[in-house]
Structure 1
Amino acid sequence: MNVSVSASELLRGALTDLLDGLPPKQAAQAVDRLIANYRGATPTDAPILRDRADVAAYAAYRMPATFEAVRSALEAFADAVPGWVPGGHVDVGGGTGAATWAVGATWSGQRPVTVLDWAEPALALGREIADANPALRDVRWQRARIGAALALDATDLVTVSYVLNELSAADRAALVDAAAAAAQAVVIVEPGTPDGYARIIEARGRLVAAGFRIAAPCPHSAACPIVPGTDWCHFSARVSRSSLHRQVKGGSLAYEDEKFSYVAAARFPVAPASARVVRRPQIRKGQVLLDLCGAEERLERTTVTKRHGELYRAARDADWGDAWPPPAP
């Protein structure tokens, strides 16, 4: 989508301006600490982002990847609910607002938006960065403790991205239930790890129990066919990195691949994919091997060969996470 490319460019520019003047050593130290928190599994009552330097490092380290992961999940959801546009959005635990940028990149136009987070420095910087994006200048940035006591106003869309890992099991359940009670649609994104997938499956079950229909990535709302402990469902989003971004993260490539797990669900009718590519396609001579999760509630591998004509050409262009078969032109 042109609008998503524009949002991505605006975000990169805002982050470049943000890092300008921040001592690289200070940024690197903050990034190291944030990586330890990001990979940890111990919930904490203290905000992870303590001051502006922490928030700037966080924005450089995580915001582009979070934006691309959430945008990928939202685009899959949008494909399953053609014509639907959220009239309002609440981003729970949104920090500097990456998911808010992703929603604006998926659906153009203005809507009431509220970002809730416990860390005031993150909210302040999110507000500052949002000035670069005309679609986000009226966002409401509100401090709130994310947990069992959280009350959400009614809205069309609630996003919860990279938040559940920071909560206790009881608070995770309460947050998902609060989102289900407040929203017509809920999109939750977690790291693409076995633990992240387990949290997504737990949230998915609570959403289905609350009357939601699964729109993506699953082709159905029945139980996941993956046997617990044998594998996990996750996807990948390609993230472009600026030179400053590479410097802060200690990388040399112009891109990285963000692995993520997600669930997108709605109270209204949805049209999920007939099947979804759940592994990177394997392209062989004259054939493409696709690992699919299908509407028959099972995992299967299908082989598409040159004899399939247009379908073979589509298979060669298919990517991890795509719907299958591809929609008609």
Structure 2
Amino acid sequence: MNDPVSLSPAGALRDVLDGLPPRQAARAVERLIATYRGATPTDAPILRDRADVAAYAAYRMPATFEAVRAALAAFADTVPEWTPASHVDVGGGTGAATWAVGATWPGRRPVTVLDWAEPALSLGRELAAGHPTLDEVRWQRARVGAALALDPADLVTVSYVLNELSAPDRTALVDAAASAGQTVVLVEPGTPDGYARIIEARDRLVAAGFRIAAPCPHSAACPIAPGTDWCHFSARVARSSLHRQVKGGSLPYEDEKFGYVAATRLPAAPAPSRVVRRPQIRKGQVLLDLCEADGRLARTTVTKRHGDLYKAARDANWGDAWPP
């Protein structure tokens, strides 16, 4: 696997967005947030022009990249000898998931990024220019919905898109991804609603004959009782100066909460269990909440008497496979 920092959009974003007035970007971000939280329009893209897209890229692209990269890394661990030969990114906008795939698996591959917003595709093309591993990316305008047809691909990614679609369009998109892809990776916000969309898609992928490779260590029904909790994870995101100005924050980082599912037709080897909450480190012991291979949620306590396993537990992170 590539060094996860060997291919990142951070430098390209900095170069392309250099000179963007922070106040203008912040105003555009406020409008975009209000739009995304309301009813999504059906007659025009949310990202209307380059100013919108630049603000959105500064605001969301680093977090999307880190969330998708974390999901892909978890999946890659289940198929260590596999590398996708082709990739389709649905609703890919400026290409965060394309960068994340390149950071996870080395080498060139034909990639198609589909999005409705031409300004987003244009900025994505500009960001990717000059990066040899991204020189086979095709940036194609397409309405993401029930009528979308996808070309066959080893890997299909759909990140932060299902929340923008109606229920029928979500169903159609998941079915299209299942028909086109050997592996499908879906990422959504780490909220109860995002989790519900992931579970809905997960069920359809399993019904279509896919095996769940990550984060779940099984393909059985999710053991979380509906309405009681939700499965999600966290990715650390480094903030640029512009990112901090646009988001009105002072810390050099933020934690992106996300949910995901990676489903495949490959002979994957899922984790024996998955850490589904932040580990609790106490004196002489570590409490780990796990989703286990038999489809149950369980808590395990690792103490000093477990030796090396205790050391591993102290280093374990939310979202890690267990045991390491």
Q: Which category of TM-score, normalised to the shorter sequence, fits these structures?
A: over 0.9
Counterpart position of 2:78: 80
Question: What corresponds to 2:49 in structure 1?
Answer: 51
Q: Which runs of 4+ in 1 moved over 6 A?
A: none
Task: Tell me how far apart the structure 1 counterparts of residues 32 and 301 of structure 2 sit (CA, whole Å).
Answer: 42
What stretches of structure 2 of length at least 5 have no aligned partner? none
Equivalenced residues, count: 324
Q: Are residues 302 and 43 of structure 1, via their aligned partners in 2, closer, same or farther at CA, if it must alter by over 3 Å?
A: farther
SS of residue paired to 2:212: strand
C-alpha displacement of 1:39: 3.6
**1:83-232 pair list within 5 angstroms:** 83-232=81-230
| 1:286-297 paired onto structure 2 within 5 Å | 286-297=284-295
Q: Is the 8 A contact 2:22 2:242 kept in 1?
A: no
Structure-2 separation of matches of 1:162 and 1:7: 21
Structure 2 counterpart of 1:97, one-letter code: G
Distance 1:46 1:129 in 2: 24
C-alpha distance in 1 between matches for 2:194 and 2:65 = 17
Tell me if the contact between 2:35 and 2:46 (Cα under 8 Å) persists in the aligned partners.
yes
2:35 corresponding residue in structure 1: 37
Shift of 1:43: 5.9
| Partners of 2:157 and 2:269 in 1: CA distance | 20
The Cα shift of 1:138 comes to 2.2
Supply the distance in 2 between the matched residues of 1:88 and 1:81 (Cα, whole angstroms). 16
Matched AA of 1:77 = F
1:297, 1:45 → 2: CA distance? 43
For the structure 1 residues 37 and 3, does the alpha-carbon distance in structure 2 shift closer, same or farther, using more than 3 Å as the test?
Answer: farther
Q: Which amino acid aligns with 1:221?
A: S
Q: 1:147 to 1:61 in 2, by over 3 A?
A: same
Alignment of 1:254-293 (within 5 A): 254-293=252-291
Work out which of the residue numbers 311, 315, 319 in structure 2 matches 1:321. Answer: 319
Please tell me whether the aligned partners of residues 49 and 121 of structure 1 are also in contact (alpha carbons under 8 angstroms).
Answer: yes
Map Cα deviations across residues 91-146 of structure 1 (whole Å, 9 max, x no partner).
00000000000000000001110000000000000000011422112210000000
Q: Indicate how the Cα distance of structure 1 residues 65 and 14 shifts in structure 2: closer, same or farther if over 3 A, else same.
A: same
Cα distance per residue 1:27-72 (max 9 Å; x no partner) = 1111112222344464634211000000000100000000000000
Does 2:10 align with 1:3?
A: no
Mapped pair 1:18 → 2:12: no
* Aligned equivalents of 1:33, 1:127: Cα separation in 2: 24
What letter matches 1:5 in structure 2? V
Stretches of structure 1 lacking an aligned partner (at least 5 in a row) = none
Q: Percent identity?
A: 83
**Cα distance in 1 between the residues matched to 2:305 and 2:38:** 49
CA distance in 2, matches of 1:251, 1:313: 34
Equivalent pair of 1:87/1:111 in contact (CA under 8 Å): yes
* Contact 2:2/2:104 (<8 A) preserved: no
1:116/1:142 contact within 8 Å kept: yes
TM-score by length of 1: 0.96
